[in-house]
Structure 1
Amino acid sequence: MFTCGTCWRKFRAGWQSRRQHMNATGHKAPAFECDTCDRYFDSRDAVEQHMNDLDHWDESSKSEDIVYECDHCDDEFDDEYELHNHEAQDHFYCVVCDRPFQDWHSISQHLRGKAHRTTTVQCPFCKGAQGTATGLAHHLERGCCSKAPLNRDKLYAAIRQRDPGGIISNKLLTWSGNVTYAATKKAWNDQAEAYECYLCHRLFEKLGSLNQHLGSPTHQSKLYHCPGASCRKEFTTLAAMINHLESESCGYMRFDVVQKRVRYIVDPRRMIQA
């Protein structure tokens, strides 16, 4: 039974059913999945040992590797880190902060700022180094932790239970999880010669890029807000809210304090405190 590595839904109908799901939502397969069967593992070493033992290597798998497409042009990359560098250097866009800049000087100053410092923050579940508090939140919300089957929805539900006073989470009375959006070839705009998002009217060169955009939190509910009484800015993801605090833009909390407090935010045994 194949599994989605982002929402952890299982597909009894097989890999084709899962592929349709991933194409529609922008979700991904588990990071360390066997080339030829539905098993997945916690590390690259473990999956390689499995494929060596059972001769499960697929010579054609190289052609099915995940390709990271730039939302701003037609360039494609084999690695997410390379894509982020490209978007910063060529398009002056910070992926982590979802923020555009006017020129290279502006974004390079931003990337050297407090919001992008590297610290020793670890995931409390898999113990992997995540760089910063924002990196830890991204790690959990994107379903990348092999020891904690979380995603944006599950993490919000867990935090909401431990935040009855709404210190950082918004109380959404009608919220029942992410709304799934998917575009078809009908999204093609003949006049603009591009695929158009029907929610924000942003244009994309490829249908896959549009669906990747629709599968992101961009058009989802704002689940969190800044705890600062004089700020209260709202965010669709925990990572964006923490990144806001790390930037010290509203002065509510210092960068180093955010790195220490993030462990209490994601710890299922603790209540959220101001």
Structure 2
Amino acid sequence: MSAPSLECVECDCTFSSIAEIQAHNVSYKHYLCGTCLSAQISERALEQHKGSRVHEPRKWKCLLCVGRKFKTPSALTQHLESGFHPGVSRFHIIAAAQALPTAAQVAIRPTPGVYAAPSPLKLIEAAAQPSSWTGTAYQCEKCPKAFRTLLALDHHLASAAHDEAELRCPACAAEFALTSALVHHLESGSCGLASYEQIQKEANAIVEAVSRLLQGGEVHLEGLVERLSLEE
């Protein structure tokens, strides 16, 4: 079965792959983004590209890094969760978020008032064992997933795959195990909670507060950030 052809409506040429038509569009400047000079495959794709946040400035600064910035609050939060900074894990971000004065609106089990590092038990991550081998794969003891290598199982166990949901969306009550997932949900506007600009403003207050807490250890939060209001 032959591959479907793609037609450039600007010059009636046909191509057998998206890569070919994109190369053609670059050469002939069809559907070219004037900001980043990337070629799209159609006028609709170009409009979607222009309407996306791909050209957002990197204005979200990590207070634990030197000069590192991110395009969105969720990207910065994901960075903080990633383990890039020694001694800071996704559990610390959750604990700090739960302790914020605004936690009552988003935390499933809020602990408002004081930030403290999570319980040592919370930081104990399951490690893959050779005994997980079933004869065909390494089986996760917590779910039906199986992996071809012990390292792959280890990465799965160290991930957030089996974390409990700790945060919820104050508008639609969707639950999330990661702070970055909640922030990304709010950014997407899928539940219409607030405008993107309002989300950025409020997310900035939370991310900066959490970052400072992580910098300084146990900190009393009275007056650190204003109460979160996600109403336009």
TM-score, normalised via structure 2 length: 0.58
1:213 maps to which of 156, 162, 177: 156
Q: State the Cα distance separating 1:204 from its structure 2 match.
A: 1.2
Q: State the Cα distance separating 1:178 from its structure 2 match.
A: 3.7
After TM superposition, list the pairs within 5 Å mapping 1:107-126 onto structure 2.
Answer: 117=54, 119=56, 120-125=58-63, 126=65
| CA deviation vs aligned residue, 1:15-40 (integer Å, no higher than 9, x gap) | xxxxxxxxxxxxxxxxxxxxxxxxxx
After TM superposition, list the pairs within 5 Å mapping 1:87-126 onto structure 2.
Answer: 117=54, 119=56, 120-125=58-63, 126=65
| CA deviation vs aligned residue, 1:34-82 (integer Å, no higher than 9, x gap) | xxxxxxxxxxxxxxxxxxxxxxxxxxxxxxxxxxxxxxxxxxxxxxxxx
Structure 1 pair 164/251, CA: closer, same or farther in 2 (3 Å)? closer
**Residue 95 of structure 2 corresponds to residue 140 of structure 1:** no
SS at match of 1:214: helix
| CA deviation vs aligned residue, 1:160-199 (integer Å, no higher than 9, x gap) | 22136521222168x8324421121111222xx2212111
2:129 maps to which of 184, 190, 193: 184
Partner of 1:158: 96
% identical equivalent positions: 27
TM-score, normalised via structure 1 length: 0.50
Structure 1 pair 204/187, CA: closer, same or farther in 2 (3 Å)? same
Q: State the Cα distance separating 1:271 from its structure 2 match.
A: 4.6
Counterparts of 1:156 and 1:189, CA distance in 2: 35
Q: State the Cα distance separating 1:259 from its structure 2 match.
A: 2.7
Runs of 4+ in 1 over 6 A off after TM superposition: 111-116
Q: CA RMSD in A?
A: 3.0
Q: Indicate conservation of the 8 Å contact 2:104/2:110, yes or no.
A: no
Structure ID, larger Rg: 2
Q: State the Cα distance separating 1:215 from its structure 2 match.
A: 0.3
**Residue 103 of structure 2 corresponds to residue 169 of structure 1:** no
**Residue 140 of structure 2 corresponds to residue 202 of structure 1:** no
Unaligned runs of 5+ in 1: 1-107
Unaligned runs of 5+ in 2: 1-44, 112-117, 210-223
Partner of 1:98: none
Q: Indicate conservation of the 8 Å contact 2:80/2:89, yes or no.
A: yes
Partner of 1:12: none
Structure 1 pair 183/124, CA: closer, same or farther in 2 (3 Å)? closer
